[in-house]
Amino acid sequence: MADEMHTSSPLGAPVTKWLKIWMRTVGTFYVFLFVATAILKLPIQALAPEGTLDQAANGDGVAMFLVDTWVILGLAIGSIGVALWVASRNVAEASVLVWTVIGFELIWGIFSDIYQIVRGHPIEKIIIWVVIHVLFITTGILALRSTRN
């Protein structure tokens, strides 16, 4: 343990702190995404046809399904964010969760972004998400690798 605290991450923090910072940063972002999707419904306002939320409020089945899908996705993302925060209290036991989040970022993140681009969605609305996913994947792998030194 003493050796671990003397080893530094690329940012100069002790390795356990580096992984804890990663977990709490990504966890916080995921909780923010929960609020943005499930409560504020920002993706629907930004990406769905105008009036979708009003149609859902008036009982339109397709619009309700769209809203419900985003709310459920927000709940799932938020629960992962909370799990990252809880697990960050014991980073030595958290590598499986971190690898799961990295896989989530790759499959749900980058692959779904590519899917949306191929389907004709505007790349300028999607590219920032690709950057975020790559950032989380890269820094997550670096944080995990730093714990092995």
**Residues 69-81: what's their mean pLDDT?**
97
Contact 53, 45 (CB under 8 A): yes
Of 8 and 75, more confident: 75
Tell me the two tokens of residue 35.
Answer: 């609020």
Residue for token pair 């191929």: 118
pLDDT tens per residue, range 76-117 = 999 999 999 999 999 989 999 999 999 999 999 999 999 999
Residues 117 and 123: their CA atoms lie apart, in Å, by 6
Beta bridge partners of 14: 8
Q: How many CB atoms lie within 10 A of CB 112?
A: 13
In 3D space, the residue among 147, 25, 40 whose CA is nearest the CA of residue 94 turns out to be 147
pLDDT tens per residue, range 11-64 = 555 558 899 999 999 999 999 999 999 999 999 998 899 999 999 999 999 999
Contact 81, 26 (CB under 8 A): yes
